[in-house]
Chain A
Amino acid sequence: GAVVSQHPSWVICKSGTSVKIECRSLDFQATTMFWYRQFPKQSLMLMATSNEGSKATYEQGVEKDKFLINHASLTLSTLTVTSAHPEDSSFYICSARVGQSGNTIYFGEGSWLTVV
């Protein structure tokens, strides 16, 4: 299947700082990528849909000014957690849709964020 890569796999940052997580589609072009967060022993929660060349669409309750999403190319989307707080500590996962109208989604390996 298609490969989606996230970087970094884990990151520790201080409260009040910002941290960026990258999501890349390695062997295909992804016009649409998705960002999730997952707390321990819980299911994945969709945060936003990232569309190449346009603004991201955020799910209800997700602060768009806090979780900045940029999808500048067909193979890269980034999630920046701004002014991070300890409650932002979580497992963040991205996924990408194959092709413009494909119905198969592939996921990255996930990124652990710990805010201290």
Chain B
Amino acid sequence: LAKTTQPISMDSYEGQEVNITCSHNNIATNDYITWYQQFPSQGPRFIIQGYKTKVTNEVASLFIPADRKSSTLSLPRVSLSDTAVYYCLVGGDNYGGSQGNLIFGKGTKLSVKP
């Protein structure tokens, strides 16, 4: 069971870069790391996924060190609309609830201020 640990909350200001780190000390060899964003009363939205090193897309970057025991989601130049809860999920090719691969942690509540 790859349990994840994230900070409960973070504050930032508009235009700043925000880095949210997730710890997953017992990540398995075939596990991927996926980050989601959730607004109130909405389902989580896929942000980015990676296995190792660095992944970048149009909205974020994901940094994964060589030991893969943690990962950092980087949001460049956040805006007020980025205020949301961010979750990291660790799971492998064989996703299955009974294996604990889709167990959500508490997430990180990001508050962006003007």
Query: Which of A's residues lie within 8 Å of B, judged by CB?
Result: 1, 4, 6, 32, 34, 36, 43-46, 48-49, 57, 59, 91, 93-95, 97, 101, 103-110, 112
Contacts and interface: CB of A to CB of B under 8 A. Distances in A.
A1 B41 contact: no
A57 B103 CA distance: 14
Contact of A97 (B44, B95, B104, B105): B95
Interface in B67-88: 87
28 contacts: A1-B46, A4-B43, A32-B96, A34-B97, A43-B87, A43-B106, A43-B107, A46-B102, A46-B103, A49-B96, A49-B97, A57-B96, A57-B97, A59-B97, A91-B41, A93-B44, A95-B44, A95-B102, A101-B93, A101-B94, A103-B34, A103-B91, A103-B93, A104-B34, A106-B46, A110-B42, A110-B43, A112-B41
B98 interface: yes
Interface string B43-65: 11110010000000000000000
B95 A108 contact: no
Given A43-B105, A46-B103, A108 B43 contact: yes
A57 B49 contact: no
Interface of B: 32, 34, 36, 41-46, 49, 87, 89, 91-98, 102-107
A43 B93 contact: no
Binding site of A, secondary structure by majority: helix, strand, loop or mixed?
strand
A110 B92 CA distance: 24
Given A49-B97, A57-B97, A57-B98, A44 B44 contact: yes
Contact of A43 (B42, B94, B97, B104): B104
Given A45-B104, A97-B95, A103-B92, 11 more contacts: A6-B43, A44-B104, A46-B97, A46-B102, A46-B104, A57-B98, A103-B93, A105-B46, A105-B89, A105-B91, A105-B95
Contacts of A107: 36, 43-46
Contacts of A57: 96-98
